[in-house]
Amino acid sequence: MFGIIPSTDVSAKLIGLLPIPAMVVRAKDGAILVEATNTACREAGLANANDQQVPRHPLLDAIGARIGAFVESDRLNEDFPLQFGSSVECRHFRVAMARLSRNAEGRCVVTFVDQTAELRTEDNLRREMLTDSLTGLPNRAGFSERTEQLLEAAAPGFRYAILMVNLDRFSRVNACLGSMSGDELLITVARRLKGILRANDVLARTGGDEFAIFLAVEEGGNDVAHVTKRISSALATPFRLSGYEICVSCSIGVAFGARRVDDPEDLIRHAQFSVKRSKSSGHAEAYQPQAFDIAREQFGMETALRRAIDRGQLRLNYQPIYDLASGRLVSFEALARWRGEDGVEHLPSAFIPVAEESGLIVPLGRWAIREAVRTLAGWDAQFGGDCGVKIAVNLSAIQLQRDGIAPLLQSALIAHNLPGSRFTLELTESALVTDPDRIAGIMHALKGLGTTIAMDDFGTGYSNLAYLQKLPIDILKIDRSFVTGMLVDRDKVAIVRAILSLSQALGMQTTAEGIETNELAQTLAALGCTYGQGFAYAKPLEVDDAYALLESRRH
């Protein structure tokens, strides 16, 4: 072993003065002697550096043993990193040792390159890359790194949970109050969330309006339920933004895991998946593998639906709509139908959401418009002139956002030489939420083609009545959920009455959907509802049956 000769008091300035402190040292009988420092080396010449002893540098104390080993070896040079000093003042050096010459026995040059500044810059840059600049929280990458570090350090049986918190309708705050207010909201949410977590939980902002939380789960696992409750109540207090009081709710997805058993990246995905379920259920949802199977099934459905659209295997059914007062057949609503290759009939309530999520709604919607126009032209031809009915086509909110509907309809109308007045377009309230001004523009363009515009599923969504008034809406369609069973439910009657009087006030007509009994049809007519459709009249019909119905009504 090498001992160290106690250093005389070394001037700390030495390092400062010499950008690369170098010294010639001699290892002798287990001791390290400094023969010359940087300047002295130069003056004396390296080969001839055995002048007077100079004060030893404390860095040498740290590496005495390595120098000893080096001079005893037959290597000519060697280098390694060295950390020196305590935490805050810690400096990082690269130490290089080089043999002076083959016969300079026991002597070598040691140089220290101070890399502290470079490393600090690198460190800052790294930290920046892992941090969300708006909230100062870790970002997605930072979250992964922190959880990995914590799991690395955790005990073998350690159990944990990852929570994903997604703000509901955040885009609306941005759209209505501007992105400055949106930023302010995110910062406040971050602060409130931080406030309810324990010191060693990790909070990160992993997306625009998405936060992630890493929690240790203690025996019993009640802590997670507790935290989800506290999150909801922390956000329940309204936020003050640009002079408004804003209420924000959130959806929470949870996934549980154990160290070394589960990959935290999988858990993040699982929790994100559960957020989607939380959005529709309205409460926090824990990840369940069966739910994932449903999603996978949906993915299978997506592939099959894409193929069906490409191969033209979808068709439209037509449900008649009547004038309630006169009983006259006025139009047909076109409803998409899809029979799979295995002969199974898929419901629109299953495949339309898949189409919307996957973007397939764009080709599906284009097909539906063209098919409806083509059908009506065919009916007119068979009828020998205007057959006297309109066709109503459903438009999805996503389709409106992504596709140029008005030009598409216009070219279909031109191709079949039909006026726009023969068509109704059914839009849902949800179309108005994301970008109301743009959608208003599209509605005006459709109106410009002469079409009728109906607001579908009315009453189920968010309706800004003042806004509705400004839009070119001709018909409100009262959602089936209020109509079916209305006669035995006073709340439903009240809603239907309210919608009817609203539409009168706004100068709009109304269509009731889901009329299953004649009694209901009569009641609705008496209440002043304009049109109606439902099983009491007819189920959606195959195209030829619809035409037969139309023919049978010819007077």
How many residues bind ligand C2E, per CB under 6 A? Answer: 25
What is the DSSP annotation of 202-228? EEEEEETTEEEEEEE--TTSHHHHHHH
Structure tokens at 512: 């009731």
215 binds, among ligand C2E, Ca ion, none (CB under 5 to 8 A by kind): none
Stretch that binds ligand C2E, among 68-76, 104-112, 134-142, 344-352 (CB under 6 A): 344-352
Separation between Cα atoms, residue 75 and residue 185, nearest integer Å: 62
Residue 166 vs 319, nearer CB to ligand C2E: 319
Confirm or reject binding of residue 309 to ligand C2E (CB under 6 A).
no
Confirm or reject binding of residue 426 to Ca ion (CB under 5 A).
yes
C-alpha closest to that of 192 among 222, 164, 162, 233: 233
Stretch that binds ligand C2E, among 25-33, 43-51, 138-146, 389-397 (CB under 6 A): 389-397
C-alpha closest to that of 332 among 364, 361, 362, 371: 371
Residue 254 vs 393, nearer CB to ligand C2E: 393
Confirm or reject binding of residue 319 to ligand C2E (CB under 6 A).
yes
Query: What is the rounded radius of gyration, in angstroms, for the C-alpha atoms of the chain?
Result: 37
Residue 181 vs 424, nearer CB to Ca ion: 424
Out of 348, 359, 378, 461, the only residue in the binding site for ligand C2E (CB under 6 A) is 348
C-alpha closest to that of 393 among 106, 418, 303, 84: 418
State the minimum distance, in angstroms, from the CB of residue 158 to Ca ion.
50
C-alpha closest to that of 52 among 30, 36, 72, 31: 36
Separation between Cα atoms, residue 294 and residue 276, nearest integer Å: 13
Estimate the share of the chain in helix, then strand, then coil, as percent rounded to the nearest 5: 45, 25, 30
Stretch that binds Ca ion, among 28-36, 127-135, 358-366, 449-457 (CB under 5 A): 449-457
How many whole angstroms from its chain centre is CA 99?
A: 60
Name the strand (E) or helix (H) holding 111.
strand 107-114
Q: Give the x/- contact pattern for ligand C2E in 410-449, rule: CB under 6 A.
A: ----------------x-----------------------
Strands (E), 236-284: 239-241, 244-246, 250-258
Residue 38 vs 394, nearer CB to Ca ion: 394
Stretch that binds ligand C2E, among 91-99, 129-137, 283-291, 512-520 (CB under 6 A): 512-520
Confirm or reject binding of residue 467 to ligand C2E (CB under 6 A).
no
How many whole angstroms from its chain centre is CA 498?
A: 37
Q: Is 218 left (phi over 0), alpha (psi -120 to 50) or beta?
A: beta
Confirm or reject binding of residue 540 to ligand C2E (CB under 6 A).
yes
335 binds, among ligand C2E, Ca ion, none (CB under 5 to 8 A by kind): ligand C2E
Confirm or reject binding of residue 457 to ligand C2E (CB under 6 A).
yes
Name residues contacting Ca ion, limited to 452-481 (CB under 5 A).
456-457
Separation between Cα atoms, residue 5 and residue 308, nearest integer Å: 85
Residue 213 vs 369, nearer CB to ligand C2E: 369
Confirm or reject binding of residue 545 to ligand C2E (CB under 6 A).
no
349 binds, among ligand C2E, Ca ion, none (CB under 5 to 8 A by kind): ligand C2E
What is the DSSP annotation of 483-495? HTTGGG-HHHHHH
Confirm or reject binding of residue 335 to ligand C2E (CB under 6 A).
yes
Who contacts 320 (Cβ-Cβ below 8 Å, separation ≥6)? 329, 331, 332, 533, 537, 538, 541, 546, 549
Residue 304 vs 336, nearer CB to ligand C2E: 336
276 binds, among ligand C2E, Ca ion, none (CB under 5 to 8 A by kind): none
C-alpha closest to that of 432 among 404, 466, 409, 387: 466
The answer to whether the beta carbons of residues 479 and 535 sit under 8 Å apart is: no
Query: What is the separation, in whole angstroms, between the first and last Cα of the chain?
Result: 116
61 binds, among Ca ion, ligand C2E, none (CB under 5 to 8 A by kind): none
Contacting positions for ligand C2E (CB under 6 A): 319, 335-336, 347-349, 352, 365, 368, 394-396, 426, 456-457, 480, 484, 513-516, 533-535, 540
Contacting positions for Ca ion (CB under 5 A): 394, 426, 456-457
